Amino acid sequence: FLGVMSGPLVRSSYRAGRLWATAMRKKGREIPAHLAHIAEGIQDSGTTRQEARTLLAHHA
């Protein structure tokens, strides 16, 4: 379910939208024109992976 985003790294609907857009891009799927504003400025900078590492280190 590519469109379902929830969990400790999804802190808001804004974040969920950006994670969704990132996933769509990584899978090579087209982002519909009416949702293109969500994907503006998204770069694969590894921030999600970094956030996960920080969260896991904090709770280890």
In a domain, 22, yes or no: yes
Region 26-37: mean pLDDT is 91
Average pLDDT taken over every residue of the chain:
75
pLDDT tens-digit readout, 8-28: 665 666 677 888 888 888 899
Name residue, tokens 């379902």.
4
In a domain, 17, yes or no: yes
Model confidence at 41: pLDDT above 70? yes
**Residues 21, 35 contacting (CB under 8 angstroms):** yes
In a domain, 5, yes or no: no
Tokens, residue 29 = 């799927």
pLDDT, position 18 = 80
Full residue range of the structural domain in which residue 36 is found: 13-58
DSSP 9-26: T--SHHHHHHHHHHHHHH
Region 34-40: mean pLDDT is 87
Number of domains in the chain: 1
Model confidence at 29: pLDDT above 90? yes
